[in-house]
Amino acid sequence: MSRLFYPAVFHRAEEGGFWVTFPDIPECMTQGEDMHEAYEMAADALGLSITTMEDAGKEIPLASEPDAVVVEQDGFLVVIEFDLMEYRRRNCSRAVKKTLSIPEWLNEAAMKQGVNFSQVLQEALMTKLNVAR
């Protein structure tokens, strides 16, 4: 569930630019001065909404099929592509301290080699979870 695609409705703003809503996530709204900025802001707003729901233990709503979305006369549909893993990597990367146990002999051998335990654990977890850096 790393890459998600959600339909968004773009509306032309009276003062110029666009405002954006998500039919599947009503509380998620944003705006932009032009199409490019509105799209980028929509992807960021979607990320904030989804990670907030996920962190709160709430169920993330499924995305509607684009042809099932009713668009008002002043709007048009744009599908927003969103990479949840990339968003978390960019916005949620503070270090978290972990305590672990390994055999003493392995610790001593690694210390002699100057192994960076944090780096090794991060690389191993990324390999295990099949996520790119």
Dump pLDDT digits (tens) for 16-61.
999 999 999 999 999 999 999 999 999 999 999 998 998 899 999 9
The CATH number of 3-91 is 3.30.160.250
Between CA 5 and CA 8 the distance in angstroms is 10
73 φ, ψ (degrees, to nearest 5) = -60, -35
**For residue 43, what are its two tokens?**
């992807």
Domain with CATH 3.30.160.250 in the chain: 3-91
User: What is the per-residue burial (b if ≥16 Cβ within 10 Å, else e) of 86-105?
Assistant: ebbeeeeeeeeeeeeeeeee
Distance, CA of 35 to CA of 54 (rounded, Å)? 28
Q: Is 70 exceeded by the pLDDT of residue 1?
A: no
pTM: 0.70
